[in-house]
Amino acid sequence: MPNLNAAHLWTNIKNYSRSFARSTIDQGTHVSENGTMSQWLRRINIPANSSTMTLQSRPMAGGNWNNVVPAASITQPQLQALVNFINNNAYDDEQHRMVLTNGIWRTFYNVAQRALVYVDHNGAPAAAPAVLPDTVPCYDCNLVHTLANISIDHQRPIGGNPYEAICKVFRCLGLTRGSVTGPKGLHFQALHMATVGGVASVSVTRNDKYTLNAQGEIYYSLFFELDMVHDLAIACMNHVINLRPLCSSCNRPNRNTTHYPNWDQ
Give me the least distance between CB of 139 and Zn ion, in Å please: 7
By beta-carbon proximity to Zn ion, the closer residue of 18 and 97 is 97
DSSP 17-73: -EEEE-EEEETTEEEE--SSGGG-SEEEEE-TT---EEEEE-SSTTS--EE-SS--E
CA-wise closest residue to 263 among 93, 26, 33, 28: 28
Give me the least distance between CB of 152 and Zn ion, in Å please: 13
244 forms beta bridges with 153
Number of residues that bind Zn ion (CB under 5 A): 5
d(CA 41, CA 56): 8
d(CA 104, CA 117): 28
151: left (phi > 0), else alpha (psi -120 to 50), else beta? Answer: beta
Give me the least distance between CB of 142 and Zn ion, in Å please: 7
Give me the least distance between CB of 238 and Zn ion, in Å please: 21
- Binders of Zn ion among residues 131 to 170 (CB under 5 A) are 138, 140-141
* Neighbouring residues of 26: CB distance < 8 A, sequence distance ≥ 6: 211, 212
CA-wise closest residue to 187 among 203, 173, 202: 173
By beta-carbon proximity to Zn ion, the closer residue of 42 and 145 is 145
- Binders of Zn ion among residues 199 to 258 (CB under 5 A) are 247, 250
| Cα–Cα distances in angstroms (integers) from residue 69 to residues 56, 66, 165, 200, in the given order | 9, 9, 28, 17
Give me the least distance between CB of 248 and Zn ion, in Å please: 8
By beta-carbon proximity to Zn ion, the closer residue of 98 and 250 is 250
By beta-carbon proximity to Zn ion, the closer residue of 108 and 260 is 108
243 three-class SS: strand
Give me the least distance between CB of 114 and Zn ion, in Å please: 16
Q: Using CB under 5 A as the criterion, which residues of the chain lie in contact with Zn ion when the complex forms?
A: 138, 140-141, 247, 250
